[in-house]
Amino acid sequence: MAEIAVITGASAGIGRATAREFARRGCGVALLARGRDGLDAAARDVEALGGEALIIPTDVADAQAVERAADQAAAHFGRIDIWVNNAFAGLFSSFLDATPDEYRRVTDVTYFGQVHGTRAALRHMLPRDEGVVVLVGSALAYRGIPLQSAYCAAKHAVQGFQDSLRAELLHAKSRVRLTMVQLPGVNTPQFDWIRAHLRGKPQPVGAVYEPELAARAIWKAAHSSRKQWIVGAPAYQALFADKFVSPLLDRYLARKGVEAQESEEPMEPGCKDNLFEPLPGDRGAHGRFGEGARTRSPLLWASGHRGWIAAGTALAIGASIAARRSRT
């Protein structure tokens, strides 16, 4: 078996696509999520692709449950090589319409879930002095937007967590690596099960990418020495716009950001969500925004080949200088 990976939030969306990506590579995969139906389906996917699956129903907000899951995965497979912190919880709501319990739950899953997962992974990796933890971030780690303050704040927190912990690992001269993937909007089922205090159904803003692209980026991150991988033009745009024109971006989002996240299709009365409890059934990896969703990111390709691009650019510049000198 090539490698052993633990993937949180593995029952649907990006986690589901990531489980498939790792299974294609022959990995053994421990699948962590709350919903048993989705976990069972994800295990079938992994096994159909040649991987070995271990189902561990887990709420990542529960630190002790995550520790037990890590022990179970290590006991079953013999080790943990890669830990992917993908699980998250979301909430579409203005700040004052969100209850403290809702806000805390988003933070517990989206931020503390990654902290709990990282702690459990390091407990197994540090004694062996090898392994990699992949944090799954977002373009919204750089730029908060209206209606998603709980999620944006949690992703910002993960960003700071990575900076601090990565410095500690480097100080200790550990060979265990910590990396992050910053993702754009992705076509997953989240928009149909997320809690939303809106008139219209929630929808992504800007360019949307298929979850398989995110899964490939996570695989790349797990097998490189890079601190982070940024996926998709929207993530780069968020990074640079907030860095250079943040106050102007505030005003633009105030005018456009709220309506852009609400579709014209009204919310269904009594619509159930998965914020506190998993929903029954298998939701798969894809959502309802597949039309026009992108399967490739030229910027991700360029990021993965930046050494070759830099060398090619240097050669081109050198050839140009030599040509000019030969003409003088």
Place of tokens 């000198």: 325
Cβ neighbours for 5, distance < 8 A, ≥ 6 positions apart: 22, 27, 28, 29, 30, 80, 81, 82, 83, 84, 222
Respond yes or no: is residue 209 known to be catalytic. no
Query: How far apart (Å, rounded) are the C-alpha atoms in residues 186 and 290?
Result: 9
Query: How far apart (Å, rounded) are the C-alpha atoms in residues 122 and 295?
Result: 33
Collapsed DSSP state (helix, strand, coil) of residue 31: strand
Q: Give me the half-sphere count of Cα atoms (radius 13 Å) on the Cβ side of residue 250.
A: 4
The encoded tokens of residue 16 equal: 């589901």
Task: Tell me the β-bridge partners of 262.
Answer: 202
Among the listed residues 103, 111, 142, 151, the single catalytic one is: 151
Query: Helices marked H in 95-232 — which ranges?
Result: 100-107, 113-125, 149-171, 190-193, 211-222
Residues belonging to the active site: 151
